[in-house]
Chains A and B, each alone.
Chain A
Amino acid sequence: MAHHVLDMPTGEAEIRALRIGDTVTLRRWLFGIRDATLIHMFDRDRRTRLDLDGHAVIHTAPNVHRVPVSNEAPVGFAPFCIGTTTSMRMERFTDALMEREGVRLIVGKGGMGPATLDAFARRGGAYLAIVGGAAALETTWIETIVDVDLDDLHPESLWQFAIRDFGPLLVGMDSHGGSLFADVQRDVAARRDAVIASLEDAR
């Protein structure tokens, strides 16, 4: 159970070194992405001018304040509350996100499925689990909103955040076929019949 500090962007070797159960702190940059962003990028083939190669994306649509442009708010947005949404809805986009945009890490909650695990193994990626619903805390790890693209989808725009010591995050899925979520699901499936049998009239 190692702890890794990753200065983003990063390369395949650093990602392959991550194992489920390890923890990670991210530094420098993080990109916010979610349902509408991915639908427009991949189902409608819209391109972004932001470079995601080697980067981490987080499943989010933030609460932001519109403010005058300044050093602290280069595109006129200040972070207000930034948290994480359920990842599983974005399952079918992982492979394309890695292939076309070069994304290496997904930060999310609730875990993802077999298609994502397969993409991680083939291309060198990992899933970093954050505590969902802990957005006020997560916001304290974000310094500024440095850029935004596809903002007609607001708040489901493509956001670029400058971050400081973002984490610790738990490696929930790695590039070696490991998934803490799948491990728990197998354990739960094994307990299911005994739990049902303990209920009156439910067997």
Chain B
Amino acid sequence: MRPYIIKRLLLSIPTLIGVSLIVFFMVRAIPGDVVQQISGDAPVTPEFRAQVQQDLGLDKPAYEQYVYWLGNSLRLDFGTSLRDRQSITHRLKNTLPVTLEMAILALLVSLIIAIPIGMISAMRQDSVVDYVSRSVAIGFLAVPTFWLGTMIIVYSSVWFTKATPQAQAYQQFWENPYQNLKFLLFPFGYFIPVGPAVILGVSLSGTVMRLMRAQMLEVLRQDYVRTAWAKGLQERRVVVGHALKNALIPVITVIGLQIPIIVGGSVIVESIFNVPGMGQWFFQAIGFRDYTAVQAIALLIAVAVVISNLLVDITYAYLDPRIRYS
């Protein structure tokens, strides 16, 4: 086990370096005069140019800029936003928990939807129940997040106008857990679960359900399940007692790999629902050429993905010894 973990750790180092290189040079590849872009429509004054060049370190050679930026980033100093001059690290402290919380809630929602459907679908493969459940799940997969969000905003304005939550309703979980959860899950009332976290969860559930179904099908064909059947155990006991647990482990593990999808979804959902998380911030930052912010967010997300991949792989190796030797 230990050699495998060490090997995986070593392998993630080049990945991290590669990610940081891409993030850094992507920003610099954007055409046009960076200073003019940041200045917006105002004429660029020499003072402004000097200031921006100093902020971005543009007066130094590229490799030096990169090393400087990476060094600062490792110390969690991401500089200041080019747009509002606020500390990026400080803002990350406020936005990261929001997105993280939404991601966790979305995952929970997706599991609540996907596990029963996936299970039943596999148990009754190719039956009407299977078709219906799969249709629903793939329907969730097919419905674009941005459309669902737009529809909810548009139709809620028609149907539940008076129930619209207050604009400043977003409160951090530790400030007011009740308000916070209500906003993310049930903004228009308790029987209408259409909050941003739910939308994100629904769009994830399609993927999770497919995974669940496939794993369940595989497990149901395993010898020990056949043995259980042969012993004449009831279906419920076979499925819940033997199959479910084994099918769930890989499903839950692989959820760690959904981070890129969740982040992609949060860019959209946060923008539509006005959730003050990293996704909305990123989208605004790229629109306004807030390079320092864009760099910081992209790097942070990529690092999170790399780490979660690492954890998933190690968990897998722990669960399935064959992998270690492949």
Q: Do A and B bind each other?
A: no
